[in-house]
Every structure is written in C-alpha cells, then in structure tokens.
Amino acid sequence: MTALPVLEVERAHVRYDIVTDRVPFRKVNRTLSEPLRWLYRAVVPGQRIQVRAVDGVSLEIAEGETLALVGESGSGKTTLGRAIMQLERVVKGSIKVDGINVREVRGGRARRRLYRTVQMVFQDPRESIDPGLDVESIVAEPLVGLGIEHRKKARRARTIELLHQCGLPASLLGERPGRFSAGELQRVAICRALAPAPKLLVLDEPLSALDLSSQAQVASLLRQLQADLGLAMLLISHDLAATRHIAQRVAVMYFGQIVEVAPTTDLAARLLHPYARALISAVPQLSRLSQTDPRMAIQPSALSPPPGCRFHPRCAEATDRCRREKPKLKQGQLPHPVACHVVHDGA
C-alpha cells in the first residue's frame, strides 16, 4: 500500500452487555422453600453477559481504495462500520479517520469535523431518507448541519453538482422522493453522503435492497466516484460476488474477527481460509452456505464463543490444535494474511 491510509483500525474492540432475563418466578416457585422464594424475588438479578461484537480488529484503507468487509450477518461487520461513525463505542484499541481518533471525539465541534471526513450510506434508502423533504433539502442537509455552507444559492449549486456526479438530473431538486425507485433513492443517499466532500465513505450493504439492474448501476457509480474523487471506501457486504466489481481488497470477518485479507482479483483462486472458501462456494447466495456443507448450518452462540479457532465447530479441516489454540491473522509464507493453523502449516 503506497498511498497514506485514510482509515486505520488497530485492535479495535466493541462489546455489548446483555442482561439475561432471570428464570420466571412461576418456574422456580414450587422448587423453593418460602424463605428462598422471597430471596429469589428480592435479590436474584439477571445475568450480565458480554458479547464481543468486534474483537481485536485491525485494518487499513488507503486514499482511493475500496476494501470490502464480508461475512454472514452477525459477524460484526456493520458494528465495525457504526463504530467508525461513533455510533457504537470502541472500548479498546483505536479507530482513526484521516488522523482523527474516533474514541477521542467529544462535543459538537469535534463531531462535525469527524462527519466532514467520514460519511455513511445505509442499506435501505427508504429508511434513511425522509420522504417528506424534497431532494434539495435532503442532499444539502449536511452542508447546513455541519456548518459548511449557509448561503442558499451556493448550496443549490453544490446540490446540482452532486446530483450530476451521481447521474441524476437537476430537475429532481424540488421533488419529494416518495415515488422514486430504490436505485434512484440510493443515488440520492450517496449524493447526501458526498455533500461534505468526505475522504471516507462507509457503505453498509448499499446494493442489497436494490434490483439487479439498479445494483449494476450503483456499483458502477461507486467505481466512478472512487476514481474521480480519490475516495476511500469501506464496503460492508454479505455478497462476495458483488464486491469484487467494486473493491480492490476483501477482508473476511467471522465472529467479530478478521480471518483473511486478500486482493479481489480472482477471489476464487486466492481465498485460503476454510470459511472464506465456504463463502465463495455459496455464491451467489449466502443462504446456500448450509447446503454446501451441513456443518455450516451450525450457528455458534455469540454468548459463548467456541474456544480456540471460533470456526472449528463448522470446519471440515479442524484439528485438536484448532480446538485449543486461537489462530493469529498473519502472512508468513502465504501470499496474504490468513488466520488458520492448517493453511499456515501447509504453506
């Protein structure tokens, strides 16, 4: 990587505390003596359990580069995207966006500086866009909210420029997006995200709510924007096939950890980790994972992750070592970093 990193994530951890329901009193009523019944009702608390949604993730994205972050739902990829936007709290490690340490951002001014540098596009534009506003108000909203442009005429000129950049006509300015297609709406959402001229875009499943032809158009738009503006992009997706047309590298995430980082050129030949290879074999639909190998139907509980390699209950190549020892993400003799004992031993 030669260009400077716009995003630097170093051993970042995001955890959730979940308080379990205590066993309902009616279920223990008959098994307890009267003093214990009283005690149970008075003092037995719910159990506090910690879920490690993002567990020591490190990655970098350079200026003008797109990194795809792929994995099944629940792997922690969206949580990481939200942590970059300070929508989730990083409890350990660091996330830096163009040098801004997200963990240290506090107060309105610092937050505005962060959101001028990074913007997020969400999965379903129908949920992230207010249908009661016209296109001009939607797209120009960050210019006002982040204190970038207070002059109405200049905001309109910038909005028209953004619409043009995203392949939308200026005639949409006064329209409300209620009757727009999902593809048009996602373009409006991208326009809005581009308004503050950020250096990094976090795209959370930006294609998954679109039909096939809109997917192709938005994918081509993202490629164009990356080339024209030198944007860095984190593309969160469960669809490996879609990401290879947009991203230069892919990071595969499993159970809160990165298990492989590889170039997207000829993904099928290059991915080495057994989980990453299972994802490839399930293309085009991740829902086919359990059909490729019955072990893939096993869904380990996030509340009690398996010891050793977290993938071992689902892995056809697991050894005793895998059940005991957690593999590290490292390159060694391999062409790129992989977290797997067996792949490294065979290299």
Q: Note the residues at the interface with ligand SF4 (CB under 6 A).
A: 273-274, 309, 311-312, 315, 317-318, 322, 327, 340-342
CA 29 centroid distance within chain: 45
Closer residue to ligand SF4 in complex, CB, 211/317? 317
Shortest reach from residue 340's CB to ligand SF4, in Å: 3
Sign of CA dihedral 305, 306, 310, 316: negative
Beta bridge partners of 59: 9
Give dist(CA 298, CA 310) in Å, integer: 12
Shortest reach from residue 320's CB to ligand SF4, in Å: 10
Closer residue to ligand SF4 in complex, CB, 118/279? 279
Closer residue to ligand SF4 in complex, CB, 132/307? 307
C-beta neighbour count of 173 within 10 angstroms: 17
Shortest reach from residue 274's CB to ligand SF4, in Å: 4
Closer residue to ligand SF4 in complex, CB, 186/257? 257
Closer residue to ligand SF4 in complex, CB, 77/312? 312
Shortest reach from residue 322's CB to ligand SF4, in Å: 3
Classify strands 232-237 and 200-204 as parallel, antiparallel or unpaired. Answer: parallel
Q: Any idea which residue has 């024209």 for tokens?
A: 228
Shortest reach from residue 316's CB to ligand SF4, in Å: 8
Give dist(CA 90, CA 84) in Å, integer: 9
Shortest reach from residue 325's CB to ligand SF4, in Å: 8
Shortest reach from residue 261's CB to ligand SF4, in Å: 15
Closer residue to ligand SF4 in complex, CB, 274/337? 274
Closer residue to ligand SF4 in complex, CB, 250/322? 322
Shortest reach from residue 313's CB to ligand SF4, in Å: 8
Residue type, 26: R
Please enumerate in sequence order all residues whose Cβ is within 8 A of that of 9, keeping only pairs 6 or more positions apart, or say none. 57, 58, 59, 60, 80, 84, 93, 94, 95, 96
Closer residue to ligand SF4 in complex, CB, 155/310? 310
Closer residue to ligand SF4 in complex, CB, 200/315? 315
Shortest reach from residue 262's CB to ligand SF4, in Å: 15
